[in-house]
Chain A
Amino acid sequence: MNTVLIADDEPLLAKDLARRLKRSWSDVEIVAVADNGLQAVADLERLRPSCAFLDIRMPGLSGLEVAAAAGSTRIVFVTAYEEHAVAAFEASAVDYLVKPVSDARLAQCVLKLQQSTAIRPDLIALLRTLEERKPSHLSWVHTGVGNTTRVLAVAEILYFQAADKYTEVITADGRHVIRTSLKDLLQRLDPEQFAQIHRGTIVNLRSVDKLERDVLGRSVIYLKNHADALPVSRAYLTRFRQM
């Protein structure tokens, strides 16, 4: 008897897959249907099914992360449409299915599962390569306004300005205050998008209109759609020369 785990966050799809698996595979038992990644890992470890059909986009943990806990369970990925990751795991998973799965394609997959003796794809290495690709730069800045917390997308920020123990965040619609220091911010911001231009200033390069130097050698950055002019100190000017 083959035991199967199905993990998909869309209940209709999970139910349909279970029904059709039973139809095209005589000796199969669906031992668990999980609707999120965490549940799927728990079920995998508890029941040790012979195969698992994992959706890739799931809440909690992604299908790829769940697969890392698979042990001897053979993995089939099921995805809504070909994402970039597909190419990466194509070589190592037993099979991958694209929804909606046709009966013929499912039969082919079952055949593959029956013939394959537990191929253990090196999923952990695969995960690592996927994680490396994901940049972990700051995307959101949380700032307090009274009792509410305003969330600013980093892309909408024009520049950061150090002010005593705080940092001012300037966007098109106003100034906000955060507690993170400029130094900490600099480490967490995407260096492709943000640059320090002064001891107390980090500017969003996408909001820069132009850099001007006057006759005294002082450099000033003018912003698009904003009146502020930001002085650039000599020490940080090299960044702009190199580009």
Chain B
Amino acid sequence: MQTMESSVRPIPILPVAWQRGEYRTVLIIVAVCCWCSALNTVLHQGTLAENLIISNSIGLTQWTLSTIVRLFFRGRLPVWGSVAAVLSGFVIGARLASLTGAPDIVALAIRYPAVMRQTMLTIVVFGAAIWAFFLYLSHSRGVREELERERRRAAEALQAETASRLALLQAQIEPHFLFNTIANIHSLIAEQPDTASRILEQLNAYLRTSLRRTRQATGTLGEEVELIERLLAIAAARLGRRLNYTVSVPEELRSSEFPPLLLQPLVENAIRHGIEPAVEGGTIQVDMRKVGDSLELTVTDTGVGLNDEAPPGIGLANIRARLTSLYGEKGTLCLYENVPHGVIAKLNVPAATRGLIS
């Protein structure tokens, strides 16, 4: 909120951000107007003083009008605005100049079009040139600002990516999961040493794969599937009859590239927030398929569903941040209500060709 406070400050006559360029703009206008009037004096008619007054009056009136238009458009000057400012500025500027005793060139041009043709042509050519110059200037400024914004967005995305990676690394070796699993193994050692040993192997493989995947920027969908199968096997051992699960993955998708920490947190959520709080337990179903150019991964559970008792936690926000930083708008996560209860989480990412994710 601090940043908001700082942006509410007393309003200067012109927004501070575009005051810097204004003096230079006025100087350029005056310089061009002076040159234009000198040329008119030499080539056509009128005294230098009169021509100076007329052309500067027109130029500065046009600038004033376009500044007023910009005030209403937060610093931007739409093309129609600049056309309107230039045309009306011409008429008004000429009229203002005539107040000082100089001839009103617009009125003259209307009355004696033949005489004024040369003068008007010079003015129009110069006017068009200066107008095009400023249009180009404001356009290139817009491009530069856009570039700046883009750079800032990229930096923010990188930061979010690092933060989410760290947070997810911690979440992965989540204490509740780890201690519960160890407690279960401990409880089995005396009576069912074989089962204990099997769960210990699963835990070992899970931790190993999980750490390796977290360090890598990418990996294959097959590795991710291995990880979630181990996770589900451990959970099923812990929860007994309360958890059933299926993971179906088409063989040809196993080798496709898939970044870590997108699918696995969804499966963890389904276990922790879907099945664990459900008295009757439920089923978790993980499906993957290729739809056109994208990969659709669905985690469906028949657990308690989403309610205000189960706040979304940091997990979903992290997945979203990761999706944005990896795929921009092409990566989406949507949650749906399962019928009669539970959650369907749908993850859509572009089917990666090698080298896309760096």
Residues of chain A touching chain B, judged by Cβ–Cβ distance below 8 Å, are 9-13, 15-17, 19, 35-39, 57, 59-60, 80-81, 99-100, 136-140, 142, 148-156, 172-173, 205, 208, 210-217, 219, 225, 240-241, 243
The residue from B1, B182, B307 contacting A140, defined by CB atoms under 8 A apart:
B307
- One of A15, A38, A150 near B187 (C-beta < 8 A): A15
Q: Complex Cα distance A213/B15, Å? A: 9
Q: How far is the CB of A112 from chain B (nearest CB, A)?
A: 21
A35-B240, A213-B11 given; 11 more Cβ-contact pairs under 8 Å: A12-B188, A81-B179, A100-B186, A139-B308, A140-B312, A152-B335, A153-B316, A153-B335, A211-B7, A212-B74, A243-B2
Which of B8, B241, B242, B312 meets A153, CB within 8 Å? B312
Assess whether B65 is interfacial by the CB under 8 Å rule.
no
For the A-B complex, the count of residue pairs with Cβ-Cβ distances under 8 Å equals 138
State the Cβ distance, A137 to closest chain B Cβ, in Å: 7
- In Å, the complex CA distance between A60 and B175 comes to 23
Q: Contact: B183 with A148, CB < 8 Å? A: no
- Would you give the shortest CB distance from A198 to chain B, in whole angstroms? 16
Contacts of B4 in A (CB 8 A): 208, 210-211, 240, 243
Contact of B7 with A150 in the complex, beta carbons under 8 Å: no
Residues of A contacting B184 with CB < 8 Å? 10, 12-13
CB distance from B141 to the nearest CB of A (A): 18
Q: Which residues 1-53 in B have Cβ within 8 Å of A in the complex? A: 1-5, 7-8, 11, 13-15
B337 x A80 contact (CB < 8 A)? no
- Distance of B320 from chain A, by nearest CB (Å): 6
Known A-B contacts A12-B187, A16-B187, A60-B279; the reply to A149 vs B11 at CB < 8 A is: no
Query: In the complex, which residues of chain A have a beta carbon less than 8 angstroms from the beta carbon of B106?
Result: none
Closest chain A CB from B26 CB (angstroms) = 19
Q: Are A240 and B276 in contact (CB under 8 A)?
A: no
Chain A interface SS verdict (over half): mixed
Cβ-defined partner of B337 (8 Å) among A37, A151, A219, A240:
A151
Verify B332–A99 contact, CB threshold 8 A: no
Asked, given contacts A156-B320, A211-B4, A211-B7, whether A11 binds B308 with beta carbons under 8 Å apart, the answer is no
A217 touches B306 (CB 8 A): no
Which A residues are CB-close (under 8 A) to B240?
Answer: 10-12, 35
Bound Cα distance from A213 to B71, whole angstroms: 11
Q: List 6 A-B contacts (CB under 8 A).
A: A12-B237, A136-B308, A140-B312, A156-B316, A211-B4, A217-B11
Query: Which residues of chain B come closer than 8 Å to A38, judged between CB atoms?
Result: 279
The residue on B at minimum CB distance from A37 is B279
Assess whether B112 is interfacial by the CB under 8 Å rule: no
Cα distance, A12 to B74, chains bound together (Å): 67
| Contact call A100/B187, Cβ cutoff below 8 A | yes
Residue from A38, A136, A211, A216 with most neighbouring chain B CB atoms (10 Å)? A211
Bound-state CA distance A137–B329 (Å) is: 29
| Contacting residue for B277 out of A59, A80, A136, A210, CB 8 A | A59
CB <8 Å contact, B8 and A241: yes
Cβ-based interface call for B292 (8 A): no
Q: Which residue of B lies closest to A36 (CB)?
A: B279
Nearest chain A CB to B197 CB, angstrom units: 14
A9 CB to nearest B CB, Å? 7
How far does the alpha carbon of A139 sit from the alpha carbon of B314 in the complex, in Å? 12
| A11–B281 CA distance with the chains assembled, in angstroms | 13
Q: A150 and B334: CB pair below 8 A?
A: yes
A167 to chain B, nearest CB (A): 18
Q: Smallest Cβ distance from B178 to chain A, in angstroms?
A: 8
Q: Which of the listed residues B180, B184, B187 has the most CB atoms from chain A within 10 Å of its own CB?
A: B187
Contact B335 A215 (CB under 8 A): no
Measured in the bound complex, the distance between the Cα atoms of B312 and A138 in whole Å is 11
* Set of chain B residues within 8 Å of A240, measured between Cβ atoms: 1, 4-5, 8
- Chain A proximity mask over B167-211: 1 for CB below 8 Å, otherwise 0: 000000001100110111011100100000000000000000000
A139/B276 in contact, CB under 8 A? no
Contact A151 B336 (CB under 8 A): yes
Cβ 8 A contact of B1, one of A138, A149, A155, A205:
A205
Contacts A9-B239, A240-B4 hold; do A173 and B332 have CB atoms under 8 A apart?
A: yes
Which residues from chain A contact B334 at a C-beta distance below 8 Å? 150, 173
